[in-house]
Amino acid sequence: MTANKEKLVLIGNGMAGINTIEQILKLAPSRYEITVFGGEPYPNYNRIMLSYVLEGSKTIDDIILNSWEWYKDNKITLHTGTNVTHIDTAAKTVTTDKGTIVPYDQLIIATGSNPILLPIPGKDMEGVIGFRDIGDCSTMMDAAKQYKKAAVIGGGLLGLEAAKGLVNLGMEATVVHLMPDLMERQLDPIASTMLKAELERQGLKFLMEKGTSEIYGGARAEGLRFTDGTELEADLVVMAVGIRPNTAVADGSGIEVNRGILVDDFMRTSAPDVYAVGECNEHRGVCYGLVAPLFEQGQILAKHITGTATLPYEGSMMSTKLKISGVDVFSAGAFMDSKEFTVIRKQDEWKRTYKKLVLQEGKIVGGVLFGDVADSAMIQQWIRSETVMTEELYAEFMGTAAASAKSPLERIAAMPEEEIVCGCNGVSKGAIMNAINEQGLTTVDEIKACTGAGRSCGGCIPTVGSILEYVLGDKYSAAAAKKAGICGCTTLNRDEIVAAIREKRLTTIREVMHVLEWSNTEGCSKCRPAINYYLGMAWPQEHEDEKDSRFVNERLNANIQKDGTYTVIPRMYGGVTTPQELQRIAEVAVKYNVGMVKVTGGQRLDLVGVKKEDLPDVWAALDMPSGYGYAKALRTVKTCVGSLYCRFGTQDSVNMGIELERMFERLDMPAKLKMAVNGCPRNCAESCTKDVGFVGNDGGWEIYVGGNGGIKPRIADLLCKVKTDEELKEMTGAFLQYYRENAKYLERTSDWVERVGMEQIIQTVVEDEKSRRALNERIGIALAGLKDPWSEVIADTEIREKVYGNVGKLNG
C-alpha cells in the first residue's frame, strides 16, 4: 500500500459496513488504505439468510457475501474475532481488545445491533440465547441434537424465523408472544391470523398474549413461567423480542448517542471524520432494523466520503418480507385500518391469499400481501411515488376482468428507471440496465455479481431476469440467461458437461477437467463428486469409480458423526430381518462398545458411535450388505405388512418392497432416494412423501413420484396406475433411469419433478412405449455392471488401509 493513501477504518464487518466499502471502491478504488475490524470469525455474510442456515437448507459457506479472497483482492486488511474498544477522536486512532492501535483519516462505525434480552430472572442461564449471528445458529443446532422442547419469546419476524428453523431441526417449538397478533408491527389482524394458521400447519405452536415473568431451572433453563401463573417446559429459550443499536464504542468514546449513534443526513456523527451507518445509528429520531434502509444510507455515505455529488438521506420507506419456507408475506408503508385511510382488500381463504392497499386522500400509502407476493415491487413503487389510485390500477391489483393483463416485459417497460428493483441492496432498474449495456451482461448471475441485485434475499431475481430480457430483446436467450456453472471451477452447466463426456468419450475426472478447461485444475468438493457420477451414469460398464472423489461418508461406508465416530447401517430389505441377523448386530454392538442402537425411520437399525479404525471389522462381523445410509443411491424401501398379515391389505407390499430394494440397491443416483410400498390406500408406509411410492389396491398399483418429507416437504405426484407387478417394475425402472440421466447432481426427485414437469415425465416414461423400453434397457446395462464397492474394501487389507487410513480431501 502506498503511503499517500488516506487511511479508512471500518468498525464492523457486517452487511451495512461492507456494502458501504463496496460502494466506496466503485467510486474511488485507489483512494483509501482500508482496515476492517469484525467481532466474528467470518468474512462478511448475509445475516438475512441465517434462518436458512438454521433450518438446514443452506450452509455458512452458502451465505458468505464477500470471501476471504475478496478482501485480499481489494487490499483490505481484515481483523476477524477482534473488537474495537475505544476511539480517540482527537488523536484519530482506534484501540482493539487485543491492544492494537490503528490510526485513521476517516472512520466508519457499523457495529450493528444487539438482541434484547428481557430483564427477567433466569435470563443468564445456560440454554437462553438471542438469535442474531452464526454463533446463535450453531448453539441452536447443537441444542436440537440433545433437547426437544424450545420456547421462542417474540412473535415478530426474527422469532418466527427462529421457531421454524428449530421445528425443522426436530424440536417442538412454541412461540410466546405478548400481543394478540403475530408481527403486529408489519401485518394487520387478518394477515396475522392467516400467518398463524399457516405456521401451525407447519408444526409451530403458539401462546398468545403471554407475558414471561421468569425462566426457571437449575444450571440450565427448564421452562418459562408467565405472569398469569402458568408454565411452559423448555430446554432451549430463544429471545427474539427486538434489537438495540450497539453504541458501546461510540458512547465510551465521547461520541453523541441517543438510542443510536446520532447522525446527520450524510451519516456524520458528532466527532469530526467519524461516520455511523446501519443499525447502530439514529437518523432523525429513527433507528432502522431492516437491510434496505441501511444500504440506502451506505450509498449516501460512500458518495459523501469520496466527494461525489449526492442528495442527503431523508429516511426510508419500511417494507418487510417473511423468509420462512412455504410462507410468503409482504408489507410496506401504512398497513392498519384507520378512519383517515381508505382500504382496498381481497381475501381468498381457499387459496390462502390476501392482498390489501391503503389509500390516503386517494394516494397509495401502504399495502399487505399474504400467500402471493408477486405484486410487492409494484406496490413499493406506488407507495414511493405516491401514486393516485385509478380504475385501471384497481383492476390490475384486484385481478378483475376489466384489467388489461400486462406481461412481465410490459411491466418492465412501464417501470421508471429510478425505481428500486433490489430493495436489499438499493439497486434501481436504471442501474441494472446500464450494467447490462455497458458490461455486456447476458445472465442473471452476471448481473448479481456486477450490481448486487438479487445477492441478498433473492426476491427480486424474477424482475432482474425480466429486465435482462427487456434490454437484450431479440438477443436474449432464456437458457443462456439462466446458465450457471456447476461450481466456481467452470462456467459449464450439467447438460453441457454430460454432452461433452458422451461426445468426446471422456472417461476420467482429470480428463474432463483438462479437456473442458477447468479454471481450477484440481476441481473442488462440488464438481469432483458430480463428474464422478456423470461418468458412471454415461459409461456404466467402463467407468472406474474414483473413490477419492466421493464424500467421506461414501468412502468409509458409514456416516460420520459430530464426535468423529461413525454410524453403521446394515441393510434390512423391506424392513425385514431374521433372529440370526439381530443376534449378529447385538454381538457387534457389545464387542465394539457401540454407543447407541437406534431404530430408524427407514425400518432399520443404526449402530451409532463406531470408531473409524473398527469399521472394516464391524462390517466383516455383521456379514450384511450396507444400507447405504450415506450414499447418493437407494437408501430404503419402507413397507407395511400388506396382504401377508394385514386385514386391510390388498397387495403383497413386503415382498414387492424387498424385490425393488434388491433390484436397485448400489445403483448410483443423482441424490439420495427413498421408496415406500403400501399394501392398501391407508398409506401406513407413507408413500406420499417418498421419491417413489407405491399404493396397492384391488386392481393393482398406483405409482407416485417426487415426494419429500425433509426440509422442503412435498407430496408426491401420481405417475400412473398399473395392473401387474411386472408393469410396476417396468415403470419404476424407466422413471429412475430418466431421473438418473437428466437430474443435476444432488438434485432430489422432488426438485427435479418440479423443474421438468410431470407432463413431460409421464409422456417419456408412461405414454411413449419406445422411450420406456430404451430407458429400461439402459438401466439394465447399469444394473448388470454393478458390484459392491465396499466388499472389496473389507476383504483387501491393502485397499482397506488406503481407504480407512486416510480421510482424504472431501470432508463432505
Yes or no: say if 526 and 785 are a contact pair by the CB < 8 Å rule.
no
CA 808/CA 803 separation, integer angstroms: 9
DSSP sequence for 79-128: ETT--EEEEETTTTEEEETTS-EEE-SEEEE---EEE----STTTTSBTE
Query: Closest by alpha carbon to 212, among 241, 187, 185?
Result: 241
The least confident of 375-384, 657-666, 727-736 is 375-384
Alpha-carbon distance of 601 to 171, in angstroms, equals: 17
Between the two ends of the chain, the Cα-to-Cα distance in Å is: 39
- Lowest mean per-residue pLDDT among 115-119, 214-218, 311-315, 492-496: 492-496
Mean pLDDT value of segment 428-439: 88
Query: Which whole number is the average pLDDT over 663-670?
Result: 93
Going along the chain from its start, the domains and CATH numbers come out as 6-112+245-305 (3.50.50.60), 117-241 (3.50.50.60), 494-549 (no CATH), 634-787 (3.30.413.10)
> In the 8-state DSSP scheme, what is residue 617?
H
718: which DSSP letter? E
Residues 6+ apart with CB under 8 A from 118: 153, 212, 239, 241
Distance from C-alpha of 745 to C-alpha of 707, rounded to nearest angstrom: 18
| Digit-coded pLDDT (tens) for 9-24 | 999 999 999 999 999 9
What's the pTM? Answer: 0.60
At residue 807, the pLDDT reads 39
Mean pLDDT of the chain: 88
* Amino acid in the structure at residue 525: S
With residue 634 as reference, give the H or E element that holds it: strand 634-639
Is 141 exposed, middle or buried (CB count within 10 Å of its CB: 0-12, 13-18, 19+)? middle
The predicted structure's pLDDT at residue 140? 93
| CA–CA separation, 540 and 537 (whole Å) | 6
Non-local (6+) Cβ contacts of 575 within 8 A are: 602, 603, 604, 636, 637, 638, 639, 657
Q: Write the pLDDT tens digit of every residue in 291-317.
A: 878 888 999 999 999 999 999 999 887
How far lies 109's CA from each of 85, 255, 293, 578, 641, in Å? 12, 11, 16, 67, 65
Phi-psi region of 495 (alpha: psi -120 to 50; beta: other; left: phi over 0): alpha
Per-residue pLDDT tens over the stretch 611-658: 988 988 999 899 898 888 888 999 999 999 999 989 889 999 999 999
Predicted confidence at residue 800, as pLDDT, reads 47
How crowded is residue 278: how many other Cβ atoms within 10 Å of its Cβ? 33
Cα–Cα dist 688/676, whole Å: 9
**pLDDT of amino acid 1:** 45
pLDDT in tens, 325-351: 557 888 988 999 999 999 999 998 888
**CB-based contact 399:393 (threshold 8 Å):** no
Tell how far CA 17 is from the center of its chain: 24
Are the CB atoms for 492 and 533 separated by under 8 Å?
Answer: no
Q: How confident is the model at residue 808 (pLDDT cuts 50, 70, 90)?
A: very low
Which residues does 561 contact at the CB level (< 8 Å), separation at least 6?
A: 567, 608, 609
- The whole-number pLDDT of residue 120 equals 95
Yes or no: say if 388 and 362 are a contact pair by the CB < 8 Å rule: yes
Residue 59 burial by CB count (10 A; 0-12/13-18/19+): exposed, middle or buried?
exposed
Element holding 368 (H helix, E strand): strand 363-370
List the grid coordinates of 434: 446500464
Write down the pLDDT at residue 7: 97
Cα-flanking dihedrals φ and ψ of residue 646, to 5°? -75, 135
C-alpha 524: how far from its chain's center? 21
Grid look-up 397387495 returns 651
Bridge-partner residues for 239, per DSSP? 130, 153
Rounded to an integer, the average pLDDT of 30-38 is 96
Q: Dihedral, CA atoms, 804, 805, 810, 812, nearest 10 degrees?
A: 50
Share of the chain above pLDDT 90, in %: 56
Rounded to whole angstroms, the Cα distance separating 675 from 673 reads 7
Residue type at position 428 = S
Rounded (10°) CA dihedral 548, 549, 554, 556: 20
| CB distance 287 to 281 below 8 Å | yes
Amino acid at 800: R
Q: Rg (Cα) of the chain, in Å, rounded? A: 29
What is the mean pLDDT of the segment spanning 405-421?
Answer: 74
- Coil, strand, or helix at residue 509? helix
Burial class (CB in 10 A: 0-12, 13-18, 19+), 361: exposed
Helix axes 725-742, 653-664, angle to 10 degrees: 40
pLDDT at 476 exceeding the cut of 70: yes
pLDDT at 659 > cutoff 50? yes
Q: Band of the pLDDT at 459, cuts 50, 70, 90?
A: low
Instruction: Check if the beta carbon of residue 245 is closer than 8 Å to that of residue 287.
Output: yes
Query: Which pLDDT score, from 0 to 100, does residue 50 have?
Result: 87
